[in-house]
Amino acid sequence: MGKTVLIVEDEKAIVEILKFNLQREGYSVLEAMDGEDGLALARAEDPDLILLDVMLPRMNGFDICQTLRSSGCATPIIMLTAREEESDKVFGLESGADDYITKPFSMRELLARVKANIRRRSLDSAQSAPESQLLKVGDVTLDPTAMAVYKRGRSIDVTQKEFDLLARLFSAPGKVCTREELLEKVWNYAYFGDTRTVDVAVRRLREKIEDDPGNPKIILTRRGAGYYCGEG
């Protein structure tokens, strides 16, 4: 079955070129020209991926992203940021987006990222099969079957990528994973991507699962190498 991509973008020319290229790759395309319509369509149609512009009439992309995430929506979201500004990228990832791409973008790169994000998501759904077991580090427990994270028994809201990142670190306690390795395995980037994406995700996760995010005990940094988790 074809995958559906929702484009939320107020520049008609960009919508048209995205639509043309996505349809040519076999995707069904939904489009919204303003933020509120975009949010409503995302909820009504449950697309496989959302391409989300930041600057939109009526509701901006960051707010849409946060609203969707806080209501438990795990659909992959790629933010289309207009400026080359680091703060936009970071803010986008902090609002729960899985990825960002800066305009003007190369269509080839955009299509590669759409594909990678959708594939990642379907692999995860396929893998949530029976015989998984709980992974535990300190007072944080991961349930791969339910894709749930608990701290001292209390459920913690995490995004898909945050879950994948934790699962990768928790499955080999003490083993250091480089940023590049995490980018490749969790975000599926063999060629594209910015290792800063990993740092932002780790920072967000620490805020959710660490007692003191400034002095982490669960996700640890190996200076100059990468990240690892404690032995439990």
* Greatest extent of the chain over all pairs of C-alpha atoms, in Å: 52
| Angstrom distance (rounded) from CA 136 to CA 155 | 14
Which of these, 38, 30, 45, lies nearest to 62 by C-alpha position? 38
State the first-to-last Cα distance of the chain, in angstroms, to the nearest integer.
42
| Tally of CB atoms within 10 A around 172 | 12
| Tally of CB atoms within 10 A around 48 | 20
| Angstrom distance (rounded) from CA 116 to CA 165 | 16
11 or 181: CB nearest Ca ion: 11
* Shortest Å, Cβ 18 to Ca ion: 13
Segment interacting with Ca ion (CB under 5 A) among 47-55, 70-78, 116-124, 206-214: 47-55
53 or 164: CB nearest Ca ion: 53
89 or 204: CB nearest Ca ion: 89
The reply to whether 37 sits near Ca ion by the rule CB under 5 A is: no
The reply to whether 210 sits near Ca ion by the rule CB under 5 A is: no
Please check whether residue 22 is in contact with residue 6, taking contact to mean a CB–CB distance below 8 angstroms.
no
* Shortest Å, Cβ 82 to Ca ion: 7
* Shortest Å, Cβ 100 to Ca ion: 14
Residue for token pair 């009526």: 58
Q: List the one residue from 48, 53, 88, 164 that touches Ca ion (CB under 5 A).
A: 53
Question: Nearest residue to Ca ion, using CB?
Answer: 55
Residue 149 token pair: 């994270």
List the alpha helices (DSSP H) in 128-150.
none
The reply to whether 10 sits near Ca ion by the rule CB under 5 A is: yes
5 or 166: CB nearest Ca ion: 5
Size, binding site for Ca ion by CB under 5 A: 3
Segment interacting with Ca ion (CB under 5 A) among 37-45, 50-58, 141-149, 211-219: 50-58
The reply to whether 55 sits near Ca ion by the rule CB under 5 A is: yes
17 or 172: CB nearest Ca ion: 17
* Shortest Å, Cβ 13 to Ca ion: 11
* Shortest Å, Cβ 77 to Ca ion: 16
Helix (H) or strand (E) holding 2: none
32 or 147: CB nearest Ca ion: 32
| Angstrom distance (rounded) from CA 196 to CA 37 | 31
| Angstrom distance (rounded) from CA 45 to CA 40 | 8
Binding stretches for Ca ion (CB under 5 A): 10, 53, 55
